[in-house]
Amino acid sequence: MLTTVEATHAIKQAMASFDSEVVPLDRAIGRVLRQSVHAERDQPPFDRVMMDGIALRFSDFEEGQRRFPIQSRQHAGDLAHTLEAGKCIEIMTGACLPEGADCIVPVERIAVGEGAAEIETGYSAKLRQHVHGRGSDHTEGTQLLRPGTRIAPADVAIIASAGKPDVEVSRVPAIRVVSTGNELIAPGKPIEAHQIRESNGPAVVAMLKEHGYTDCERDHLVDDLEILEERIATHLEEADVLVLSGGVSMGKADFVPQVLQELGVEVVFHKISQRPGRPMWFGIGAKQQAVFALPGNPVSTLVCCRHYVIPALAHASGVSPGNPEFAALAQDVAFRPKLTCFLPTRLVSNAAGTLLALPVHTNTSGDFASLTGTDGYVELALEDTFFETGTTVPLHRW
């Protein structure tokens, strides 16, 4: 069996990168940027007024002048006026600083009457106060965004400020999610005492969409070789990525590895030294489709999807790797046998602000109801079987 690190590496090595495409900016949210974005102009592109009030020459104020005849009024978007000595210009937030002005006095500090603005007694002004200097945020040509950024609302603002109506992003992969098993019945359909509800398919699709992979369709197949081969072949033709759940262990009806082999999917590995999820299978199809066959127990399915499928999709999309997270165990944990343990946890903080992982032990790998309220899982190394309170361990959020 591969270790978890070896399995992750093998998946990244085998998967092909997804193509890029150009989309309008209003469709770019959540997509992975595949180009650099540089500043179109200095930001701000002019000395920008930051307060409603009056613009004046600081030298006039410094010489003791407190009453200023109002020369004109300038709004945001107006061409910059030229200020005459000894006068002021009524100014609005966002406007260009008038030529000759170098100080803004807020409207709350002045009284206006008879065509003049008088500054309140005792007010202390400073040179260039309330002026957002040209290029003080960044200068023309500065790299604002790098390839690999998953575009957030703030990034949309940055791209728009760079004058780009569209942007190059990774293509959203077509993903097909297939659950297998005679015992599984979809919600809303009549169910017998010996059957259980199908939950893995909806949960996997939800996890994929939550992480930005929206082109997902799901199917459920019974444990019949002919049906499995026919339907999985169709999904392989349609999909960039196929995620299966169930049918990958050693049972008499675990047909998935056999079917995938017959369909020309080359196995990269089968089984990982971990719990839950040891029977996981991964391979590459004839058209470079990535195929993840996850164990059927619900906790195993969700953990394997989060630990292998989601990072693999991010890697193929060109997402820049983030910094790893860690948390300290809130209690002792004993674990046997020697396998990497993925232990669901709730996160809390102590008085010192340290992030603590409170283990949530599932009854079995089928006890998915125990995952409610968990924030993710911690990774306990296979070399050890006992972990003391306070041990720092890797944290993976759902």
Do residues 123 and 149 both lie within one domain? no
The tens digit of pLDDT for each residue in 198-229 reads: 999 999 999 999 999 999 999 999 999 999 99
Do residues 186 and 238 both lie within one domain? yes
Of the residues 102, 132, 162, the one at which a domain ends: 132
CA distance 226 to 238: 19
Domain count within the chain:
4
Closest residue by Cα to residue 54 from 130, 132, 122: 130
CA distance 142 to 162: 10
Look up the CATH number of the domain holding residue 89: 2.170.190.11
| pLDDT number for residue 332 | 96
How far are the Cα atoms of 54, 74, 76, 101, 279 from residue 95, in angstroms, in the given order? 11, 7, 4, 12, 64
CA distance 5 to 272: 10
Do residues 208 and 271 both lie within one domain? yes
Q: What is the four-CA torsion angle of 90, 96, 100, 106, rounded to 10 degrees?
A: 40
Do residues 338 and 311 both lie within one domain? no
Do residues 117 and 237 both lie within one domain? no
For the record, the structure tokens of 314 come out as: 């991010």
What stretch of H or E contains 148?
none
- Are the C-beta atoms of 300 and 294 separated by less than 8 Å? yes
Of the residues 317, 334, 355, the one at which a domain ends: 317
CA distance 290 to 304: 15
Of the residues 108, 132, 156, the one at which a domain ends: 132
| pLDDT number for residue 304 | 98
Residue 336: pLDDT band by 50, 70, 90 thresholds? Answer: confident
Provide the domain limits for residue 365. Answer: 325-397
| pLDDT number for residue 251 | 72
Residue 367 clears pLDDT 90, i.e. is over it: no
Do residues 116 and 212 both lie within one domain? no
| pLDDT number for residue 366 | 79
For the record, the structure tokens of 100 come out as: 């000759």
Residue 24 belongs to a domain: no
Look up the CATH number of the domain holding residue 278: 3.40.980.10
Residue 25 belongs to a domain: no
| pLDDT number for residue 249 | 79
The tens digit of pLDDT for each residue in 60-104 reads: 999 999 999 999 999 999 999 999 999 999 999 999 999 999 999
Residue 208 belongs to a domain: yes
Backbone dihedral angles phi then psi of residue 305, each to the nearest 5 degrees:
-65, -45
Look up the CATH number of the domain holding residue 353: 2.40.340.10
The tens digit of pLDDT for each residue in 241-267 reads: 999 999 897 777 689 999 999 999 999
Do residues 57 and 15 both lie within one domain? no
Do residues 391 and 381 both lie within one domain? yes
CA distance 222 to 232: 12
Residue at token pair 């007024």? 49
For the record, the structure tokens of 294 come out as: 């996850």
For the record, the structure tokens of 172 come out as: 């959203």
Do residues 107 and 181 both lie within one domain? no
Residue 82 belongs to a domain: yes
**First-to-last C-alpha distance (Å) of the chain:** 25
- Which DSSP symbol is given to 25? G
Look up the CATH number of the domain holding residue 141: 3.90.105
CA distance 319 to 238: 24
Do residues 201 and 70 both lie within one domain? no
DSSP alpha helix (H) spans, 104-181: 153-161
Do residues 55 and 155 both lie within one domain? no
| pLDDT number for residue 146 | 98
- Are the C-beta atoms of 71 and 89 separated by less than 8 Å? yes
Residue 295 belongs to a domain: yes
Do residues 57 and 34 both lie within one domain? no
Share of the chain above pLDDT 90, in %: 93
For the record, the structure tokens of 138 come out as: 């960044």
| pLDDT number for residue 173 | 98
